[in-house]
Amino acid sequence: MFNKEIIHKFNSTPTPFYYYDLEVLKQTLQLVKTESEKYNFIVHYALKANANNEILNVIKSFHIGADCVSGNEVKKAVECKFDSKDIVFAGVGKSDQEINYALDHSIFCFNCESLQEMEVINQLAFAKNKTANIALRINPNVNANTHKYITTGLEENKFGINVWELDAVAEALKTLPNLKLIGLHFHIGSQITDLSAFKSLCLKVNEIQHWFSSHHINIENINVGGGLGVDYHEPDTHRFADFKTYFQLFNDFLEILPGQKVHFELGRALVAQCGTLISRVLYVKKGMNTNFAILDAGMTELLRPALYQAYHKIENLSRLEIPNIKLHMQKYDVVGPICESADCFGKAVSLPETSRGDIIALRTAGAYGEVMSSAYNLRDKVKAIYSGD
């Protein structure tokens, strides 16, 4: 991923910054297209994983739709010229203003997360003399076996409508003439590496579909959400998620009714591996047990380790280049400059002997990296550079 030339370029660029390899992104998207088209599956990209314009333009060029979770994401998708009919809008707390914006742009579908939200969308659509397409986001009560902060499909989570509410929802729909039910939506969580969770989802979706068939409610679209995980430990050996097995699994286990379309909303699996956070070592400091490598990037640039105890592979790019020299490995706690003890990228990380000025790469940072960056401690907004720049 990093040749001499690129490392040389990193050396002459002020740190920290995100580096995006657009070739890796394109290869990932090509693979997703190839594997999903085998079954006529429709793929949307979850903008919240990375809403960088350059990234969005590449994704859009592969004719992938947009999955948004805020009004501003819908706006971004519209501005980046995603077709309105390819935009879906989910989220437990859509404001009136956000709903109105989406109605004005006649997006493909609102993924509704509660009865009250349906009533509000109906009212706002009525005021505009419009009909809003909706899908019911149903909580399938499937355990995604992932970090508790990124599990979304359990009854205890705030997301979606629970199965025991379906009778009430079906009744309510009869009294909401400005809504058109066009689908069912599910999303069980993120960074799911145990694919059996998706099989459980399929079986649950089949059950829920039976409920709708038995109530003579026709469902045109099934949206199974996203959540496919990536390999944070071995980004070079597993550069692409196993899209083949993933899509095949849905084809094998989902009972797709005649004429029904199946939609996916992938975020992380499309963009994680194309991004790297590049930083410099500011100081190396002796600690009690290990030394500290203090970087000029911290939780303000990449929050995932502090927020979810997430792992990112850490590499010292300045020490990769020396041929035939045996590297002297040492353990470092790799930390950022922010005044929080959670501002730590890894404890006792084994790195070649590291010095002030070395270039450090935090791998697999293309998803939920730059988008979550903040100005805490009045930090500068993190920059981005792209392969080929």
Ligand X SMILES: *Cc1c(COP(=O)(O)O)cnc(C)c1O
Interaction of residue 227 with ligand X, rule CB under 6 A: yes
CB closer to ligand X out of 225 and 235: 225
Q: Which of residues 264-323 bind ligand X (CB under 6 A)?
A: 265-269
**Most distant CA pair in the chain: distance in Å?**
75
How far are the Cα atoms of 145, 221, 344 from residue 277, in angstroms, in the given order?
A: 27, 38, 14
Q: Which is nearer to ligand X, 344 or 365 (CB)?
A: 365
- Residue 192 in 3-state DSSP? strand
DSSP class of 228: B
Q: Does 379 bind ligand X (CB under 6 A)?
A: no
For position 21 contacting ligand X by CB under 6 A, the verdict is no
Choice between 302 and 335, CB closer to ligand X: 302
Residue with the two structure tokens 């997360």: 113
Give 263 or 379: the residue with its C-beta nearer to ligand X.
Answer: 263
- Give kind and range of the element (H or E) at residue 247: helix 243-253
Is 42 a residue that touches ligand X (CB under 6 A)?
no
Among 226, 275, 346, 366, binds ligand X (CB under 6 A): 226
Q: At what angle do helices 243-253 and 22-37 cross, to 10 degrees?
A: 20
Would you call 124 helix, strand, or coil by DSSP? helix
Q: What minimum distance in Å lies between the beta carbon of 320 and ligand X?
A: 30
Q: Which of 69, 87, 99, 224 binds ligand X (CB under 6 A)?
A: 69
Residue 5 CA to residue 8 CA, distance in Å, equals: 5
Q: Site map for ligand X, 74-103, x if CB under 6 A? A: ----------------x-------------
Which range in 263-271, 282-290, 296-304, 337-345 contacts ligand X by CB under 6 A? Answer: 263-271
Q: How far is the CB of 120 from ligand X (least distance, A)?
A: 19
Residues 127 to 186 in contact with ligand X, rule: CB under 6 A: none
- In the bound state with ligand X, the residue whose beta carbon lies nearer, of 230 and 295, is 230
Q: Which residue is nearest to ligand X (CB)?
A: 267
Instruction: Please tell me whether residue 235 binds ligand X under the rule CB under 6 A.
Output: no
230 versus 294: smaller Cβ distance to ligand X: 230
Options 46, 66, 297, 314; binder of ligand X; rule CB under 6 A: 46
Between CA 85 and CA 22 the distance in angstroms is: 26
Distance CA 62, CA 47 (A): 15
Q: How far is the CB of 236 from ligand X (least distance, A)?
A: 21
Contact between 119 and 126 (Cβ < 8 Å): no
> Which sign does the torsion angle of CA 341, 342, 348, 352 carry?
negative
Contacts with ligand X by CB under 6 A: the residue count is 17
**Cβ-contact 157, 142 below 8 angstroms:** no
The bridge status of strand 314-316 relative to strand 359-362 is antiparallel
| Smallest distance from ligand X to CB 244, Å | 17
CA distance 347 to 374: 23
117 interacts with ligand X by CB under 6 A = no
Query: Residue 367 and residue 303: Cα distance in Å, rounded?
Result: 11
Question: Residue 170 Cβ, how far from ligand X at the closest point, in Å?
Answer: 22
Which residues here bind ligand X, judged by CB under 6 A? 46, 48-49, 67, 69, 90, 187, 190, 225-228, 265-269
